[in-house]
Structures are given as C-alpha cells and as structure tokens.
Chain A
Amino acid sequence: MSTARLVKHSFKAVARYKLRSGFMMLGSLVGVAALTLVVSVGEGAERKIVSTVHQLFGGSSILIFSGGGRFMGGPRAGAARMTLDDMEAVVKELPEIEVWDPQQGLFGEPVRYGDASTTARVLGQSERSERVWNRSVTRGEYFDAAAVAGSARVALIGETVARDLFADEDPIGAEILIGSVRFRVIGLLEPFGTDAHGMDRDNEVVVPISTLMRRVMNVDTIQGAKLLVKDPSLVRETAREIKRILRERHSLGSGQPDDFTVITAVQVQQMVRKVERVLFVFLPLVAAVSLVVGCVVAASLMLASVNERVGEIGLRRAIGARPGDIQLQFVLETAVTTLGGGFVGLLVGCAGAELVARRMALGEILSWKAILLGIAAAAVTGLLAGVVPARRAARLQPAEALR
C-alpha cells in the first residue's frame, strides 16, 4: 500500500462528491480569506501608524498641548492659557531641551489667490519647525528667524493648496489672502500625504507663528509646542520638569488638575501598542472564529460522509485496507478539500487586502506572515476536521459495516 497512490485516490474521491467538497472548501475558504485579509491589513495599518508616529514623533520628543484632560478626545479644561512666555521659561530652565517649536493654528480657514479660493489648515510655527517637525520645503525657502521676529507676512503652502489655488501657475512669489490678510508665498512644503487621522497634511499653509497670532487671529496664547530632548533617556524626567514649571507659572494648587497636557514618545508608543492589540488580537480572533466555524462545518460534512459511506468502508476493509489506511484516506480527503479551499481563500484574502490597501493608501501590503498563517490555518483546519471522522471510519468493524 503506497501513500502516493492513496493521495491520488483521495483527490479523485474529492472530485467525485463535488457538492459536498464544495461546501467543505467554502468553510475553509471564508476562514482563511478572513484571516489573510485581517492580518495583511492589520500589518499594513500598523506600518502606516508606526511610520506616521515616527515622522511626527521621534524617540526624543515631547508634545505639549494647552488644556488638561486626556490625550485624544474629551473636553479640555482651561484651554487657551499657554503662552510663548511659558514655553520660553521652560526652555530657559531646562538645558536638556535641544530645540523646540511652538504651534498655533486655524482649521478650515479660507485661502484665496485671485479668483481661486480654498479652505486649508493654517499653522503658525517658528523657523525651527523645519527641524522639529522634520518637514522642509521642496521649492523656495523656509522662513527664517527674522521673519518670525518681524511677524513677516510670508507663507509656505502644501501641494494640495498649491494645486487648488494655482493649478499650473508657479506659486512662489505670489500673493495670497489668508482670511483678509495678504501673504507672499515663499516656499512649497514637502508632501506628507494623509496622516493617521485621515487628514490631508498637504492641505496646509505654514506661516510665522507671530504673524498668525498678531495679524490673523489676534490672540496671545499658543495651542502647543513640540520639544526635542538632547538625550532620549532624559525624556521622562524632562516631561516631569516641564509639568512642574507650567503648574508653577499657572499657579495651580496641589488639588487642581493640569490645564495643559504633556505627551512623550513613551506614551505615544503605549497608545500605538493599544491599537496594535486591537489589530493583532481582536481582528485575528474574529478570523479565527470563522476558521473554527469552517472547521466544524468540514468535520460535520466529513462525518456525514463517513456515515453515508459505511458500506464503502466495509468493502475497503474486506479487500485489504487496514484501519490505518481508512483513517489516512479520510484525513487526506479532508485535507485535500480544506487545503484547496484554503488556497482559494488565500487568493481571495490577498486580493481583498490589496483592494483595502489601495483605498486606505496603505502601500505595499502583502505579508508573508499572512500567507504562511493562512496556509497553516487551512492545514490545521483540515487535520482537526479530518481526524474525528477518520478515526470513526477506521474503528468500524468490517463485518458490521458490510451488513
């Protein structure tokens, strides 16, 4: 008795019962497709998040927002109390801060050029933001310290803004209106794409923060700042110090909550890890459930098949099949079917992942991990689903099976 012959035989048996095999394949197809899709998309999304976070947020950065409360979501108590003086005091007292950049901004501000108009996010920043936010210009030049000190009306525009306002025209040197204030475009911002929140970061205008505060918004507070610490190991300590100084300057008593929020890379990484837990535990869990369902479906169909083919099993025993041969035959039949279904599921899952990736701009997405996991899942499904029916078939007594 050769196993190769039996494998070939199993393929024929599977082909003989097309409808039943089809349903069995469907079970593992759906499960494996779900698993492949979820793991691929999950990995792609994670890469996207990590790269975005990394871009915004190197290991040595600290973000400060005005307003207390939790990071992300929830109303912030005591917003609009942080000033440039606060930040300058902090930086003066903490020599471990290498460089920093304050930020103020407007969402959905009308921006016009001639007859063309659009709305964009307008950010006020210092000349140091080029370095702190790691975003430069592709054409023209960044504004300098003098422009910030002198509240110069110069602007850097993102690609989306440039396209909306200028079409094919050269924006460098052109005069635009932000609200009702006239600015001269001096540079084109490096493209960024969509950020983790789904916001188009190319639909932005960056101007000197002093100009924005005095001439456009007429405020003397800032929204926040980003600081880079010289040594990443000092981030925690520095963050603690910043809190202390800000609380002091804002005269907060010991019972009062912070009216600002300090976030370090460590916290962001914790948050990313939380997101990962969802992506890497819950989503595959859902996929695994569908695999289990597929496995149960395959097992019960195979059990039905064994019951239906008792006579065949008796005959095979009579003509010389050992119990082990019978068991192997049914395991193989199940394996061939579920692996076949799993393979198709793999293709479906990969195609689905590709589609999702294109819609979400996740970039290259197919992961070997997902493919190997899909194949392994199909194999495990097949074996688990096959074993019980196969053992039952092998235990049949030939004389009784032939009755």
Chain B
Amino acid sequence: MKEETFMIELEGIGKTYTRPGGEPVQALRDVSLRIDRGEFVAIVGASGSGKSTLMNVIGLLDRPSGGRYLLDGQDVSGLGVNELARLRNKRIGFVFQAFHLLPRTSALENVELPLLYSDRPSMKGLGRRALEAVGLADRIEHRPGELSGGQQQRVAIARALVNEPDLLLADEPTGNLDERAAAEVMAIFQSLHESGRTIILVTHDASLAAHCERMLRLEAGRITADERLRQAAVAAQERSS
C-alpha cells in the first residue's frame, strides 16, 4: 500500500440538481470528509440539508456533480452503471426508512434478494443466517404484512447484511418505528458496529446520533460540524469490560 487509504474519502464533493423549469439546487457544496474502516458515523441535519443526497453519493446511488470520491482508495467517478451496481451489491448494504420490502414475499425471499444479483456461486443458508443474526429465525416464512414495523426493519437489515458488505448505510432507519422498535434496531446496529462493520447513519434526530462515535452535521449542503463523541477504542473497551 503506497499510503494509508480510508474506507471513504470525499474531496470537494458538490451536487447540483436542475429540475426542469426550476432554478438549479445546490444540494451539496464542497463536502470533504474521510471515514475510516469500522467507524460508526451519524450524519445529522434538518430536512433539505443534503444529508440524503450525501448518503446517495456515498452509496453510489447518485453521482456527484463535482469533486472526487475514493472508496477504499479507488476513484469511483469513472465507473459505469454496471460496475457501480456490482460494487453496491458486494460492498454496501442499505437500510431505508420505508423498509422497501417486497410485498407478498416471505422474509427469507426478501433477505435473499441481493443474492439474485450477486455472482456468488453458493447462496445456501446465507439468508437464513442473516435472519438469525437479527433475531428473526422464527419469522422466515412470514410476509411483510404479517410483521410489525420493527420486525420489517430487521428483515431489511438482514437483507442489507446477506452479502456480507463492509459498509452499511442507513437512512432514517427508525423514522417509521415506535420507541421500543427503534431501540431494538439501534441495538442491532450497535452490535454490527462491534463486529467491525462501518456504519453510516443518516438522521435528523440528534438523540439517535448519540449512539454513534462520530457525528457530522450538515447544513445547507455543507458540513458544519464533525464531532468525535467517543474514542472508538475507549468505547470498545468500555463495552468489553
């Protein structure tokens, strides 16, 4: 390795939308940040602050209008749609506020969906194991309509995990959940973080950010604060003791 690479390295990222017939909107302005492997980062901001756009850029769902994005040291701006799709499939798991589970489809089939697009030779048992990891081993054949909101979001988390990505992106994952279900979901993120995954949580709720080690505040498309809430090493020690 020529120099130390970060998991995510953004340099001067800008994103401008031009809606037909409207003024161009600058959703991101000159965003630079680095996220290391294993970090648990919260991106907070009011709605319209550009936090979802930032997550879409980091998650390779949207291309920035300017700047440079290195994922694991690889510049992704030159990659085509199919290469980006492959990277998302292998490297990134997504959790959304609205769950985005396929209706009338069993939990297991929902969880196995990313395997449909993967080139893994064997996929046996992966879905089941991912559901076990989120505590839903007994809900394998249930359909989303037969599950509570918290359970549905746990199915979605299992789906995000099934391909064993090292980056997990969660956009308001507790936005549709009651307090108890939200706490369950956060506990799962916590334990995933402990097992070494990089997690980026996008939320407008500062109290959720308290679960994280680092908080980035976004206002009008700019990063206005970058706070270390706890030292990762210290936090890990606290937990293990």
Partners in one complex: yes
Interface set of A (CB-CB < 8 Å, partner B): 1, 5-6, 9, 12, 16-17, 311-312, 314-325, 397-399, 402
For A1, the chain B residues whose CB sits under 8 A away are 116-119
Q: Does B105 contact A (CB under 8 A)?
A: yes
| Cβ contact within 8 Å between A321 and B85 | yes
Nearest Cβ on chain B to A393's Cβ, whole angstroms = 14
Q: Does B51 contact A (CB under 8 A)?
A: no
4 other A-B residue contacts (CB within 8 Å) besides A315-B96, A398-B62:
A16-B104, A311-B98, A311-B100, A320-B118
Closest to B89 in A: A320
A321 to B94, CA, bound (A): 13
CB<8 Å pairs between A and B, sample of 11: A1-B117, A12-B105, A316-B113, A318-B88, A319-B89, A319-B113, A319-B117, A323-B81, A399-B56, A402-B96, A402-B100
Q: Does B66 contact A (CB under 8 A)?
A: no
Nearest Cβ on chain A to B92's Cβ, whole angstroms = 8
Q: Which of A1, A320, A321, A402 has the most CB of B within 10 A?
A: A320
A16 to B109, CA, bound (A): 13
| Cβ contact within 8 Å between B88 and A320 | yes
For B62, the chain A residues whose CB sits under 8 A away are 397-399
Interface residues in B55-82 (C-beta closer than 8 Å to A): 56, 59, 61-62, 81-82
Of the candidates B61, B98, B114, B163, the one whose C-beta lies within 8 Å of that of A399 is: B61
Of the candidates A312, A314, A322, the one whose C-beta lies within 8 Å of that of B117 is: A322
Q: Which of A16, A316, A321, A399 has the most CB of B within 10 A?
A: A399
For A311, the chain B residues whose CB sits under 8 A away are 98, 100
Q: Does B225 contact A (CB under 8 A)?
A: no
Given contacts A12-B109, A317-B61, A397-B62, contact A325 B100 (CB under 8 A): no
For B96, the chain A residues whose CB sits under 8 A away are 315, 402
Interface set of B (CB-CB < 8 Å, partner A): 53, 56, 59, 61-62, 81-82, 85-86, 88-90, 94, 96, 98, 100, 102-105, 109, 113-114, 116-119, 159, 163
For A397, the chain B residues whose CB sits under 8 A away are 62
| Cβ contact within 8 Å between B61 and A398 | yes
Given contacts A311-B100, A325-B117, A399-B56, contact A319 B88 (CB under 8 A): yes
Nearest Cβ on chain B to A390's Cβ, whole angstroms = 16
A5 to B94, CA, bound (A): 22
For B61, the chain A residues whose CB sits under 8 A away are 317-318, 398-399, 402
A46 to B187, CA, bound (A): 77
| Cβ contact within 8 Å between B114 and A320 | yes
A256 to B93, CA, bound (A): 95
Nearest Cβ on chain A to B56's Cβ, whole angstroms = 4
Of the candidates A5, A314, A317, the one whose C-beta lies within 8 Å of that of B85 is: A317
Closest to B93 in A: A319
For B82, the chain A residues whose CB sits under 8 A away are 322-324
For A316, the chain B residues whose CB sits under 8 A away are 113, 117
A9 to B113, CA, bound (A): 9
A154 to B128, CA, bound (A): 93
Q: Which of A311, A315, A316 has the most CB of B within 10 A?
A: A315
Nearest Cβ on chain A to B171's Cβ, whole angstroms = 8
Closest to A401 in B: B61
For A312, the chain B residues whose CB sits under 8 A away are 100, 102
Nearest Cβ on chain A to B156's Cβ, whole angstroms = 9
A324 to B80, CA, bound (A): 13
| Cβ contact within 8 Å between B118 and A322 | no
For B53, the chain A residues whose CB sits under 8 A away are 399
Closest to A320 in B: B89
For A16, the chain B residues whose CB sits under 8 A away are 102-105
The 9 closest A-B pairs by CB, nearest first: A320-B89, A320-B117, A399-B62, A315-B100, A319-B114, A399-B56, A322-B85, A399-B61, A398-B61
Closest to A8 in B: B116
For A318, the chain B residues whose CB sits under 8 A away are 59, 61, 88, 94
For A5, the chain B residues whose CB sits under 8 A away are 116
Closest to A6 in B: B116
For B114, the chain A residues whose CB sits under 8 A away are 319-320
For A323, the chain B residues whose CB sits under 8 A away are 81-82, 85
A317 to B89, CA, bound (A): 9
